Amino acid sequence: MVHSYLLLLVFLSFISSSPSMSQTNSSDYETLLTVKKAWGSPSALSSWISQNSSYCSWAGVSCNNGRVTKLSFQNFNIINPIPASICSLKNLSYLDLSYNNLTDQFPTVLYGCSALSYLDLSNNLFSGALPADIDKLSSEMEHLNLSFNGFTGSVPSAIAVFPKLKSLVLDTNSFNGTYPASAIAELNELETLTLADNHFAPGLIPDEFSKLTNLKTLWLSGMSLTGGIPDKLSSLTELTMLALYSNKLHGEIPAWVWKLPKLEFLYLYANSFTGGIEPEVTCFKLQQLDLSSNLLTGTIPEAIGKMKNLTMLYLYYNNLTGSIPPSIGLLPNLAEIWLFNNMLSGPLPPELGKHSPLGSLEVGNNLLSGKLPDTLCYNKKLYDLVVSNNSFSGVLPANIGDCHTLDNIMAYNNNFTGEFPEKVWALPMLTIVMIQNNGFTGTLPCVISPNMIRIQMGNNLFSGAVC
Ligand SMILES: *[C@@H]1O[C@H](CO)[C@@H](O)[C@H](O)[C@H]1NC(C)=O
Ligand SMILES: *[C@@H]1O[C@H](CO)[C@@H](O)[C@H](O)[C@H]1NC(C)=O
Ligand SMILES: *[C@@H]1O[C@H](CO)[C@@H](O)[C@H](O)[C@H]1NC(C)=O
Ligand SMILES: *[C@@H]1O[C@H](CO)[C@@H](O)[C@H](O)[C@H]1NC(C)=O
Ligand SMILES: *[C@@H]1O[C@H](CO)[C@@H](O)[C@H](O)[C@H]1NC(C)=O
Ligand SMILES: *[C@@H]1O[C@H](CO)[C@@H](O)[C@H](O)[C@H]1NC(C)=O
Ligand SMILES: *[C@@H]1O[C@H](CO)[C@@H](O)[C@H](O)[C@H]1NC(C)=O
Ligand SMILES: *[C@@H]1O[C@H](CO)[C@@H](O)[C@H](O)[C@H]1NC(C)=O
Ligand SMILES: *[C@@H]1O[C@H](CO)[C@@H](O)[C@H](O)[C@H]1NC(C)=O
Ligand SMILES: *[C@@H]1O[C@H](CO)[C@@H](O)[C@H](O)[C@H]1NC(C)=O
């Protein structure tokens, strides 16, 4: 009896001296249970049970030396307000509450979290104006994400007093006043700035942002911006993403934009930019280029063929002239080429589709001519082929009939001749074939794709079916 009692004591002391027990704090443990209760015990917190005090392995909890430092509650179905007790976690530096159903005003209870450096409240249902004393959040703040909520009013200048701030993410809200451009411009460490998709009063792109020389991401779309792209912003040489789409910007795209050495994503679509694309482009790291729906003139630079990582080239709805540079056909990653509604002429690049996983080629409404390259489906990825309203001629590449990924062929209003490859009709994914107003010959299809929804083939030279 005595013997087993001793054994039990030994066992207990072994447990209490094991690292997982010695490195916990009863105060943090109690706090977490209080927070859970305040939130009405959502099922995502079902691992938070008082019988199991190793809270450092509870769902969403991370610790450092037994103190809670991180809470990651993305998509935890949290509805009730954030309880003030959460800030009793004295070492809490990271709080992610994105994708929950939090409502009402900005949670000023978080002013009590003195170690907080990362706060993500994005994708909730917050509303109202941001408090003018939002600078009462910890001065340690580095990342503040309030995007995809319903905040209104003006952005208070107090939001820009955190000396260590690296991300200020305010896009996709209902801000309908102003934002403190000069204060934001003093955030020397800022790498990410998003103000996009808000109802800000119309205005120019602030010159002051030229001071933000560490900026990597600048997302200012859908903000009613007017005027041009300020030349002063040429100081932003660290940019990897520049997104100014869906504004009322005009003037030429400055040459310095085309020379940003680290740029990977350039979205300037849906504005009124005029002039040409800089022929000496050197931003060779570009992956996505979208200049569509502007008033651009001139030719597509040959140098685009040096953007080896380019996957998406959208230049549609402009007034571009000249031919499509053959170098574009050699790009190894290009998957989507949308050049429709321009004044482009000449043939398609000779080996288009051979060197890249080409999926979508849309070049309708141009003055293009010649034969289609027989390499379009070379890598068996092509699903979308729109070449309508051009002056293409000759026969369709016979191997189009082996392009099993093809969903859509629009080749109407051209000068194609020769036999329409019969195998095309039975391609398994095909839904749309529009080839009217050409000189195609062949017989009417006997077997057509089970998914076909639309065939238009009038005004050709087809003869009756021989089934
Ligand atoms: C737990 O944390 C609280 C608050 O930070 C502190 O006062 C207390 O001394 C800690 N207890 C232990 C056992 O570390
Ligand atoms: C305590 O909970 C953690 C995380 O859910 C689990 O890994 C561990 O096995 C539990 N321990 C006990 C004694 O139930
Ligand atoms: C949270 O909001 C979403 C979208 O409004 C809704 O579909 C979901 O049911 C809500 N969740 C809870 C737990 O109320
Ligand atoms: C927790 O925060 C206190 C006060 O800032 C600090 O002294 C301590 O080192 C921190 N503990 C851990 C494990 O980070
Ligand atoms: C919020 O912004 C931060 C900082 O830029 C980022 O790391 C995080 O992924 C964003 N959250 C969501 C849900 O996108
Ligand atoms: C902004 O929106 C709020 C809430 O809808 C409204 O009360 C306020 O008058 C608006 N302010 C401006 C300047 O439009
Ligand atoms: C393309 O991307 C790869 C991988 O991210 C990178 O190593 C390479 O430098 C990039 N190429 C260019 C031309 O930027
Ligand atoms: C293209 O240029 C023509 C003639 O200069 C002009 O009439 C037309 O509006 C322009 N279209 C676009 C989309 O810029
Ligand atoms: C071709 O032109 C016709 C008539 O001008 C137009 O309705 C149609 O949308 C154009 N097709 C494409 C693919 O742009
Ligand atoms: C088709 O070719 C004929 C004869 O070469 C030419 O007259 C006509 O303009 C061309 N049509 C188109 C749409 O290119």
Sign of CA dihedral 75, 77, 79, 84: negative
Spatial distance between the Cα atoms of 302 and 326, rounded to a whole number of angstroms:
8
Q: Residue 277: exposed, middle, or buried by beta-carbon count in 10 A (0-12, 13-18, 19+)?
A: buried
Spatial distance between the Cα atoms of 287 and 91, rounded to a whole number of angstroms:
40
Residue 149 CA to ligand 6 centre (angstroms) = 15
Task: Specify the residue with its C-alpha closest to ligand 1, atom 2.
Answer: 27
Mutate to test the pocket of ligand 7, among 240, 281, 283, 285 (most ligand atoms within 8 A of CB): 285
Mutate to test the pocket of ligand 10, among 388, 415, 436 (most ligand atoms within 8 A of CB): 415
13, containing H or E segment: helix 2-17
Note the ligand closest to the C-alpha atom of 50.
2
Spatial distance between the Cα atoms of 239 and 145, rounded to a whole number of angstroms:
19
Spatial distance between the Cα atoms of 346 and 353, rounded to a whole number of angstroms:
17
Which residues 6+ apart lie within 8 Å of 9 measured at CB?
A: none
Task: Specify the residue with its C-alpha closest to ligand 7, atom 2.
Answer: 309
Q: Is the pLDDT of residue 13 over 50?
A: no
Query: Taking the CB of residue 50, how many other CB atoms lie within 10 A of it?
Result: 11
Q: What is the DSSP string of 326-366?
A: GGGGG-SS--EEE--SS--EEPPPTTTTTSS---EEE--SS
Q: Which of 118-127, 231-240, 443-452 has the lowest mean pLDDT?
A: 443-452
Q: What is the DSSP string of 403-438?
A: -TT--EEE--SSEEEEEPPGGGGG-TT--EEE--SS
Q: What is the pLDDT of residues 168-216, one digit of tens each?
A: 999 999 999 999 999 999 999 999 999 999 999 999 999 999 999 999 9
The pLDDT value given to residue 445: 81
Q: What is the mean pLDDT of residues 419-426?
A: 93
The separation between CA 324 and the C-alpha centre of its own chain, rounded to angstroms, equals 27
Bridge partners, 95 (sequence order) = 71, 119
Top-confidence residue, 449 or 377 = 377
Asked if residues 153 and 178 have their Cβ atoms less than 8 Å apart, the reply is no
Spatial distance between the Cα atoms of 97 and 122, rounded to a whole number of angstroms:
7
How would residue 447 be classed by pLDDT, with cut points 50, 70 and 90?
A: confident
Mutate to test the pocket of ligand 5, among 97, 167, 190, 197 (most ligand atoms within 8 A of CB): 167
How would residue 426 be classed by pLDDT, with cut points 50, 70 and 90?
A: very high
How would residue 47 be classed by pLDDT, with cut points 50, 70 and 90?
A: confident
Spatial distance between the Cα atoms of 212 and 200, rounded to a whole number of angstroms:
21
Residue written as token pair 């053959």: 326
Asked if residues 200 and 177 have their Cβ atoms less than 8 Å apart, the reply is yes
Q: Is the pLDDT of residue 2 over 60?
A: no
Query: If DSSP codes are grouped into helix, strand and coil, which group holds residue 54?
Result: coil
Asked if residues 379 and 403 have their Cβ atoms less than 8 Å apart, the reply is no
The pLDDT value given to residue 132: 98
The pLDDT value given to residue 24: 73
Strands 67-72, 61-64: pairing is antiparallel
Q: Which amino acid is at 123?
A: N
Task: Specify the residue with its C-alpha closest to ligand 5, atom 1.
Answer: 145
Q: Is the pLDDT of residue 84 over 60?
A: yes
Spatial distance between the Cα atoms of 462 and 385, rounded to a whole number of angstroms:
21
Q: What is the mean pLDDT of residues 266-280?
A: 97
Q: Say what percent of the chain tops pLDDT 90.
A: 88
How would residue 52 be classed by pLDDT, with cut points 50, 70 and 90?
A: low
The pLDDT value given to residue 22: 46
Q: What is the mean pLDDT of residues 84-105?
A: 97
